[in-house]
Copies of this chain bind each other. A is one copy, B any other.
Amino acid sequence: MLVSSAMTARNAAQKKRGYHHGDLGRALVAAAVELIRDRGPEAFTLREVANAVGVTHGAAYRHFEDKTALLAAVAEDGFRALGAHVGRAVASDPRGPRERLRSIATAYVEFAMDRPAHYRVMSGPRLNEDGRFPSLEAAIDEAFAFVIEEIRRGQAEGVFRREPARDLALGVWVMAHGYVELVFRRRLKVKSPKVAVEYFEKLFTPYLDGLAPKPPRRA
């Protein structure tokens, strides 16, 4: 569903050079994503990313306060794309809250498999430690709001149990995020991104069933 489009970073940078590089800020972000995709966020180097777009490493400081700020820009792009992807999933699924909730969780995992570099920056390093980048928090909340809303709808229709919607929604987030983490850390081996998404739907089913009202007492 999602289409990766960072391969053209270097070309774009060379083409539309305004002063020296057109929009160096965006070129740096794109190059960073490419590097992180190939070698992980911990191997990511400011000097290397500057080198990739053909600029001295000092030049990056004209566009980002420090290395963390560049990573935060990657993360924010990611959260916005995640919100959009989840939003599309919920909008295009006319079935009831139960299936829409499944779609939302699946879309989350799908996004992670499709944009692993973004996801790892989003979930990895402790950016925003002392409240820098408040827009980052906003983007997270926006994506999470879809889950809460869908839980509420299901409760109103009587198909989900009546507990604080936030608690139930957090369970969904916990499952989707925990699953992706296990896959990325290779604790859980999967043959392909497609298989990873399918297997998540299976693992997620008990939780979905457990959301039903009047939980069954044990036999």
Interface bits A116-160 vs B (CB < 8 Å: 1, else 0): 000000010110000000000000100000000000000000110
Q: Mark A178-219, 1 if CB is under 8 A from B, else 0.
A: 110110010110000000000000111111111111011011
Give the CA-CA distance A213 to B219 in the complex, in Å: 9
A-B contact pairs, 12 of them (CB 8 A): A42-B125, A170-B188, A171-B206, A173-B182, A174-B182, A176-B178, A205-B215, A207-B210, A208-B210, A212-B215, A212-B216, A216-B216
Which A residues form the contact surface with B (CB < 8 A)? 40, 42, 96, 98, 123, 125-126, 140, 158-159, 161, 167-168, 170-171, 173-179, 181-182, 185, 187-188, 202-213, 215-216, 218-219
Kindly report which residue of chain B lies nearest to residue A215, judged by CB atoms.
B209
Contact between chains at A98 and B218 (CB < 8 Å): yes
A182-B177 contact, Cβ under 8 Å, with A40-B126, A207-B207: yes
User: Which of A170, A177, A207, A215 counts the most chain B CB atoms within 10 A?
Assistant: A207
Contacts of A187 in B (CB 8 A): 140
- Given A205-B210, A207-B210, verify A181-B171 contact (CB < 8 Å): no
When chains A and B are docked, how far (Å) is the Cα of A216 from the Cα of B207? Answer: 12
A174 touches B170 (CB 8 A): no
Contacts A175-B171, A210-B207, A211-B206: A159 and B219 contacting too (C-beta < 8 A)? yes
Choose among A170, A174, A182 the residue with the greatest number of B CB atoms under 10 Å from its CB: A174
- In the assembled complex, how far is the CB of residue A66 from the closest CB belonging to chain B, in whole angstroms? 15
Asked if residues B178 and A179 are in contact (CB atoms below 8 Å), the reply is: yes
Q: Measured between alpha carbons, how far is A206 from B170 in the docked complex, in Å? A: 11
With both chains docked as a complex, state the minimum distance between the C-beta of A171 and any C-beta of chain B, in angstroms.
Answer: 5
Bound-state Cα–Cα, A177 to B180, Å: 11
CA distance A159 to B218 in the complex (A): 6
